[in-house]
Structure 1
């Protein structure tokens, strides 16, 4: 299985402060409906379909055989303790194919990004699930070119609304680091409306994100190109918010409706199957260059 974004299936009940989190899910679902003036029918649908989620960053350290020995969570004090425990207890059971440098396996830390979701089980209990994890190297050989990263504008067609969400864009770079092709993989919404209206919102966010990112430039080092001459693809999240509906900060739960997934035809099957939304706003990922997940540890 590709370690870019393995479907873990790992889950755990979230007890202790469950009342607070259960109330958050119910209130967030209702807020999604109210924020865009949805009727009672859409409000009920939002309650049924909404999940709360957060994206957590950190680093994983390997031993020479590829066993994950330890996990360091970024700004751990901001992340709920049950989320930290779920990530750490699950991921330390995995084995990654180590990268090689001068014939030796490297054990230096891998960048880790995890998406944890919570769903109501009943009025008091929430089930947490480690939906997916992305591993990658802390890259310095592919980086945005300063001065070219104009932030996409909020769509004029949505002015005066409370529409908010995140568009996940794939950009394929040419030899000069310019964006040759860009497409939106997925748009998650933080509001709910009719299916037709939600598609209009997704389309508006997608057009804004792609239009801006096509003008971005990246710096790709000579060393990277010498090792791999194939085109570089990067995944970029673009968040859209309003003064009335702000996207949550790091370590905070987010209520959202996942959007339909599109597939980039130029990517490998493994890269296309990886989840699109396991990357935090303000970050980016080099796609298709992730280390390979081998297995859970033997004997466990």
Structure 2
């Protein structure tokens, strides 16, 4: 796919409005694409096989990168009823791209999530009213994705919420970027306080005093088209923060941006990767 570099450059240039005036933020600009697929884990935790969805829509350089890194991954073995078993789970991979000081484009695996939805065993959404679009951001044409983790009580209501990351699809003065992130964070938290969930009805977490759930919230401007599978989207990644009440077992090794928008994800779900995710 020779045109993927052009698509990548277009994504970067679209976000880089007034880039010459804001070079410090410009240097933080990244483009990324989200891949999905499956991965097979052996009883010893090593990768037996993996498959990426719709490889014909992806640059071969990206496919080769994932192939090269996946063979070295080792996970905590999967146990069912106390027995170590072979397992196949879904995976989503956030592949990033950025220009280095030499003007070359470096592509690397930014983050990943390996897990499987277990109907009845995990928290499900009941009422997720979308947040209002921040007025100031709408007037400025700024869009973003906010990643929120919520603490769900036994009645299905949100007891607490925390913004783990906000990725902004705009370039502005360095002093303005935290203001944009705070704007999206506040509207997300305000909406999350009214969300309702369905507690699990079976499985090991059914009697837990509370549950932890991650929800990516995508703010899309009117007329802005979400990227199709395999397309690149430019943004300035925000810092990753950890909720003070989040236990170690629910902490992310990297950022939450490998979670596809539109889903609800148990913070306790997912395989634990024991080896480094890998680089470029």
Would you call these one fold, judging by a TM-score over 0.5? yes
Deviation at 1:259, TM superposition (A): 0.9
Q: Does 1:55 align with 2:31?
A: no
Q: Helix, strand or coil: the match of 1:222?
A: coil
4+ long deviations beyond 4 Å? 23-27, 121-125, 225-228
Q: Rate the CA distance shift 1:250–1:20 in 2: closer, same or farther, 3 A.
A: closer
2:205 and 2:7 map into 1 onto residues whose CA distance is 50
Counterparts of 1:81-92 in structure 2, within 5 Å, are 81-92=60-71
Q: Does 1:275 align with 2:258?
A: no
The answer to whether the Cα contact below 8 Å between 1:25 and 1:51 also exists between their aligned partners in 2 is no
Equivalent in 242, 267, 271 of residue 287 of structure 1: 267
1:153 and 1:183 map into 2 onto residues whose CA distance is 18
Q: Rate the CA distance shift 1:104–1:45 in 2: closer, same or farther, 3 A.
A: same
What is the TM-score with the length of structure 2 in the denominator?
0.85
2:207 and 2:73 map into 1 onto residues whose CA distance is 27
Deviation at 1:225, TM superposition (A): 5.3
Aligned to 1:10: none
- Alignment gaps of 5+ in structure 1: 1-15
Equivalent in 152, 172, 197 of residue 173 of structure 1: 152
What is the TM-score with the length of structure 1 in the denominator?
0.80
2:141 and 2:116 map into 1 onto residues whose CA distance is 37
Q: Which has the higher helix share?
A: 1
2:46 and 2:224 map into 1 onto residues whose CA distance is 42
Q: Does 1:134 align with 2:113?
A: yes
The answer to whether the Cα contact below 8 Å between 2:12 and 2:31 also exists between their aligned partners in 1 is no
Q: Helix, strand or coil: the match of 1:160?
A: helix
Counterparts of 1:83-102 in structure 2, within 5 Å, are 83-102=62-81
Aligned to 2:20: 40
How many equivalent pairs are there? 274
- Alignment gaps of 5+ in structure 2: none
Q: Helix, strand or coil: the match of 2:139?
A: coil
2:11 and 2:33 map into 1 onto residues whose CA distance is 14
The answer to whether the Cα contact below 8 Å between 2:76 and 2:274 also exists between their aligned partners in 1 is yes
Q: Does 1:156 align with 2:135?
A: yes
1:206 and 1:72 map into 2 onto residues whose CA distance is 35
The answer to whether the Cα contact below 8 Å between 2:43 and 2:78 also exists between their aligned partners in 1 is no
CA RMSD of aligned residues (A): 2.6
Q: Does 1:264 align with 2:243?
A: yes
The answer to whether the Cα contact below 8 Å between 2:93 and 2:112 also exists between their aligned partners in 1 is yes
2:67 and 2:256 map into 1 onto residues whose CA distance is 22
Deviation at 1:227, TM superposition (A): 6.1
2:275 and 2:131 map into 1 onto residues whose CA distance is 40
Q: Helix, strand or coil: the match of 1:180?
A: strand
Q: Helix, strand or coil: the match of 2:62?
A: helix
1:273 and 1:101 map into 2 onto residues whose CA distance is 24
Q: Helix, strand or coil: the match of 2:32?
A: strand
The answer to whether the Cα contact below 8 Å between 1:188 and 1:257 also exists between their aligned partners in 2 is yes
Counterparts of 1:101-250 in structure 2, within 5 Å, are 101-121=80-100, 125-140=104-119, 141-146=121-126, 148-224=127-203, 229=208, 231-250=210-229
